[in-house]
Amino acid sequence: MVFVIGHRGAKAYEPENTLRSLARALTFGVDAVEVDVRACKDGALVVIHDETVDRTTNGKGKVKDLTLNQLKRLDAGMGEKIPLLSEVLDFVKGKSMLLIEIKEKGIEDRVVKEVIDRDMLGDVVFISFYHTSIAKVKDLAPKSKTGIIFTCEPVDPADLAVKAKAEVLLPSYMTLTEHVVKKAHEKGLMVYTWVLNKPEEIIAALELGVDGFASDKPDLAVEYAKKQRTLLTW
């Protein structure tokens, strides 16, 4: 069974990383939604991808230089506000799995605490480009599910994931190969690739044997995942 992830919710249709976007993704029947987390000036954990608010809101400036109050006054698209991680956790609880990408070092303990405080450790996969952050998450919460993201192979990504005690390897589609999938599976890792928005990309990734994938178009993703499941039952 392929694990389908709504990338930043339903990014192709709604303002990314907003509650509206997550809600839209869930209507398509995804297995999980993915969000990005970083800290603002006063330490609050907010859900936004970029270091700045320029691209996704009507404001300007770095997230780390803006207070939560300043961030909450911005329009993140269609009247949506930049959500707190706590708001996202409360929203998805009991509805789907959640992948939390840790966008910067030094916030791991607070991210883990937010999840544990809501008894959601079993519903979350912590992911990051920083393998040291993932190793820290494992130290803080040994029973957590974690994954390493990568876009190139300066070192062996599967070995890096194993050393960080991760369960999932998340290669970009551009770096996805049969070798990457095979090596990961040999080491007991699941493979979730990203971001697949075209039918031919989804088909190619499924043929390589990935365990899951993220898409900006969750409806398309679910459609093709269902087709694969149907083929497997014959």
Catalytic residues: 7, 49
Could you identify the residue written with the tokens 């070995």? Answer: 159
Task: Work out whether strand 145-150 and strand 32-39 pair parallel, antiparallel, or are unpaired.
Answer: unpaired
Residue pair 111/134 in contact (Cβ under 8 Å)? The answer is: no
For residue 90, what is the DSSP state?
H
Spatial CB neighbours of 209, under 8 Å, sequence gap ≥ 6: 178, 181, 182, 185, 191
Please give the angle made by the CA atoms of 182, 186 and 190, to the nearest 5 degrees: 75
DSSP 181: H
Beta bridge partners of 52: 62
